[in-house]
């Protein structure tokens, strides 16, 4: 049995949606790279579904947060939403529903790990939401989002996990060690149009973590994330 012929009923059972159009579900699971490598494949790739699913996801999450937290300002709600729908959060959803077993990828893409795989997983979740919306309507797609995306809302809000990594690390560093983090660029490389930065975050002049990014801001955020992990400050 090829990847294309895999029985999707187990996945449907996990997500609580039985598709009328199985080809639509399979399309949501198909990465562009698979089409490029398998020219005879009859279905399309999932990028349009991802585009639609992103909009459905944003509306459902925004509506939920708006009604759940009537006293919180717009800035907080925006941060809550970002924490719920970012790449890391959506890739965790993909892992929870074991969607990785069903994604159609090229041989090259299937070897990707780490951040690259997280993007693929997150995109598939958005495409899946788009497919549910087309096949079953908004309420069914909202049901999926409630079950798998919004289930962590209270934990994120109560534990301040919605704060970006730099803000979180500064808050905890000041509370636990009485120190304010300082950031320095450790390395800069590449041409102007494709710069790469490696930044370090320091506490009392000691390197606490480092990270890479295409901007100084991204590198600093990744350095703060690294420092949080190294100190096990969740």
d(CA 59, CA 68): 14
Q: Is 54 a catalytic residue?
A: yes
| Helix or strand holding residue 201 (H, E) | strand 196-203
Task: Specify the residue for token string 């790990």.
Answer: 113
Among 50, 109, 123, 126, the active-site one is 126
Q: Is 58 a catalytic residue?
A: no
- Contact at 8 Å (CB) between 104 and 155? no
- Contact at 8 Å (CB) between 230 and 172? no
161-198 burial code (b ≥16 CB/10 A, e <16)? ebbebbebbbebbeeeeeeebebeeeeeeeeeeeeebb
**Rama region for 62: left / alpha / beta (φ>0; ψ in -120 to 50; rest):** alpha
Structure tokens that stand for 229 in this block: 């992990």
Burial class (CB in 10 A: 0-12, 13-18, 19+), 156: middle
Report the SS3 class of residue 20.
coil
Among 54, 109, 135, 220, the active-site one is 54
How many CA atoms are closer than 13 Å to the CA of 99, on its beta-carbon side? 31
Q: Which are the catalytic amino acids?
A: 54, 126
């Amino acid at each position: 049995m090829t990847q294309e012929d895999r029985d999707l009923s187990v996945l449907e059972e996990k997500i609580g949606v039985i598709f009328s159009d199985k080809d639509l579900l399979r399309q949501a699971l198909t990465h562009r790279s698979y089409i490029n490598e398998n020219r005879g494949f009859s279905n399309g790739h999932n990028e349009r579904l991802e585009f639609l699913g992103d909009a459905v996801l944003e509306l459902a999450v925004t509506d939920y947060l708006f009604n759940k937290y009537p006293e919180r300002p717009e800035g907080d709600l925006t941060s809550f939403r970002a924490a719920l729908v970012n790449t890391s959060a959506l890739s965790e959803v993909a892992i929870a529903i074991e969607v990785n077993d069903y994604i159609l990828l090229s041989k090259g893409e299937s070897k990707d790990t780490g951040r690259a795989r997280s993007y693929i997983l997150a995109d598939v979740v958005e495409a899946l939401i788009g497919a549910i919306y087309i096949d079953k309507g908004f309420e069914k797609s909202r049901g999926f989002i409630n079950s798998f995306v919004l289930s962590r809302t209270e934990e994120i809000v109560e534990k301040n996990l919605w704060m970006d990594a730099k803000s979180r690390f500064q808050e905890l560093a000041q509370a636990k060690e009485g120190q304010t983090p300082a950031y320095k660029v450790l390395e800069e490389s590449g041409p102007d149009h494709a710069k790469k930065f490696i930044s370090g975050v320091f506490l009392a002049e000691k390197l606490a973590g480092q990270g890479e990014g295409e901007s100084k801001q991204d590198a600093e955020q990744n350095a703060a994330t690294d420092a949080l992990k190294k100190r096990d400050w969740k």
